[in-house]
Chain A
Amino acid sequence: MWLELSDLGLTENGVCIVADVTLKVGAGRTAILGPNGAGKSTLLRLMHGLLKPSSGSLQWPQDLSQGMVFQRPAMLRTTALANVEYGLKLRGVTGAERQQRAMDALRRVGLPELAGRPARRLSGGEQQRVALARAWALEPQLLFLDEPTASLDPASGREVERIIHEIAEAGARIVMTTHNLGQARRIAEEVILMDGGRVLEQTPADEFFRQPRTEAARCFLREEMP
């Protein structure tokens, strides 16, 4: 186990967005599932430290370096390469080494030929891969991914999945949200199902898809299955 959440809650303007989340996260690859508005993105932000919980706490048994790729990646008005270099620059990596590492990351996501292109002018799928490269270049021990393939066509989606697998193989823990059950099945070892800001079920992935423990999960699977 590398993260423990106890009674985690977030209330914004009197509205309860996440409530009573008690979890032990220990899998290498975790998928958070649930309908729109379930609180999946909010839970990721709480784990990543972008939001401060209004109740409860997070415990990190070991200090993990983290990264996050957002659903809509924000690209700076500069080249794809410079966007990847930016994170390294913040960590004090300089000169040729920085460019080398950024270039390597772009190569790993299959975009070396787009290095010099203005990042915001790239397609959605390309931007998503640049965002993955930007996060990967920092070699995080834990990577949060918020719907990494949401608006991508099937081919780009598969490419992004391949990249996620590679990142995981390189040793990073992955926590991702997705609406794509096939993707969750292909990637995740463990599934967390949420609805209404609460965690309904936390189950090993193969078991979750074979015979979920809760009625809510059975309902969810029935509705989401094509």
Chain B
Amino acid sequence: MHELATSLTLAGDLIAAADGRLAAIVWLSLKVSLTATLIACLIGMPLGALLAVGRFTGRRVLIVLTNGLMGLPPVVVGLLVYLLLSRAGPLGQCGLLFSPTAMVIAQTILIVPIVAALARQVVADAWTEYREQLRSLGASRTRAAMTLLWDGRFSLTTAGLAGFGRAVAEVGAVMIVGGNIDGVTRVMTTTIALETSKGDLPLALALGAILIAVVLALNTAAFLLRQWAERRWG
């Protein structure tokens, strides 16, 4: 009990002092996961929208696949990306292994299915409401998909956030492809895992607190945005 209290105090001191090492780790974490989320949204949202309104062969298979891959284990994604990027792998020439870029790739792969599946749900719901209207006005299916993405822009923040939450919180994939190199690829989750095993609880706790705070803050912001949008646009 006493140890926990001391650790918590020290953790508070670390955050209050805006410790340089801490800041660098938080910054890298956010940079990697936000980049991955952005890329995943650019791929996953149009994909989800087309899965919702499109009519092409393989559509149902893709829907089942994206839904199924939502639960992709991070370590497996890490392993696959590792194999891809390792020196003997197909993309070994690029020398990306153990770099932040490798971590972005792994997290993007991890969360594209989440973003796509949630976006598909949002757009599919809108499609039942707008389908006849859009067809009557002469919108092609691709056009309708893009229109509904724009129309659902506020609801879709949920999909983006779910992706970000998953990316920023996972350990397995970034650990494997990043290598947890101090000052280069060490992010919040991998640091927490490492420092806890070494017994440096204050740093781990400080990072844990920041991680939770970041996720909460983003979700709160998105919630307020959606509420405002509901009032403004209906």
Q: Nearest-CB distance from A125 to chain B (Å)?
A: 16
A223 to B139, CA, bound (A): 41
Interface residues on B, range: 10 to 19
Decide yes or no whether B151 CB sits under 8 A from chain A.
yes
B147 within 8 A of A: yes
Tell whether, in the assembled complex, residue A87 and residue B138 are in contact, meaning their CB atoms are under 8 Å apart. Answer: yes
Cβ < 8 Å to B, chain A residues 79-137: 86-87, 90-91, 118-121, 134
Contact indicator A121/B137 (Cβ below 8 Å): no
CB neighbours (8 Å) of B134 from chain A are 74
Check A86–B232 contact: CB distance below 8 A.
Answer: no
Q: Which residues of A contact B147 (CB under 8 A)?
A: 76, 86
Of chain A, the residue at the smallest CB distance from B147 is A76
- B residues 146-161 with Cβ under 8 Å of A? 147, 151, 153-154
Assess whether B27 is interfacial by the CB under 8 Å rule. Answer: no
Complex-state Cα separation, A45 to B135, whole angstroms: 11
Contacts of A119 in B (CB 8 A): 234
Contact for B136 among A67, A77, A118, A120, CB less than 8 A: A67
Q: Decide yes or no whether B3 CB sits under 8 A from chain A.
A: no
A74 touches B130 (CB 8 A): yes
When A76-B147, A118-B234 are in contact, do A50 and B132 touch as well, CB less than 8 Å?
Answer: yes
Is A90 a contact partner of B138 (Cβ separation < 8 A)? yes
Counting chain A residues whose Cβ lies within 8 A of the other chain, the interface size class is 20 to 34
* Distance of A172 Cα from B143 Cα, bound (Å): 27
Residues of A within 8 A of B136 (CB): 48, 50, 66-68, 70
Q: Name the distance in Å between A81's Cβ and chain B's nearest Cβ.
A: 14
A134 in contact with B132 (CB, 8 Å): no
One of B133, B139, B151, B233 near A118 (C-beta < 8 A): B233
Docked complex Cα distance between A172 and B234 (Å): 32
Q: Are B139 and A90 in contact (CB under 8 A)?
A: yes
Tell me if B182 counts as interface (CB < 8 A to partner A): no
Asked whether, in the complex, the Cβ of B234 is within 8 Å of the Cβ of A77, the reply is yes
CB pair B132–A45 under 8 Å, yes or no, is yes
| Chain B CB within 8 A of A78 CB | yes
| Alpha-carbon distance A200/B229, docked complex (angstroms) | 48
Who on chain B is nearest to A88 by CB? B137
- Tell me, in angstroms, the Cα distance from A120 to B153 when the chains sit together: 15
List 11 A–B pairs whose Cβ atoms lie within 8 Å, in order of A's numbering: A50-B135, A67-B136, A70-B132, A70-B136, A74-B130, A74-B132, A74-B133, A76-B151, A90-B143, A91-B138, A134-B137
A67-B137, A77-B154 provided; 12 other pairs, C-beta below 8 A?
Answer: A45-B132, A68-B132, A70-B136, A74-B130, A77-B229, A87-B137, A87-B138, A90-B143, A91-B138, A121-B232, A121-B233, A138-B137
Which residues of A are at the interface with B, using a C-beta cutoff of 8 A? 45, 48, 50, 66-68, 70, 73-78, 86-87, 90-91, 118-121, 134, 138
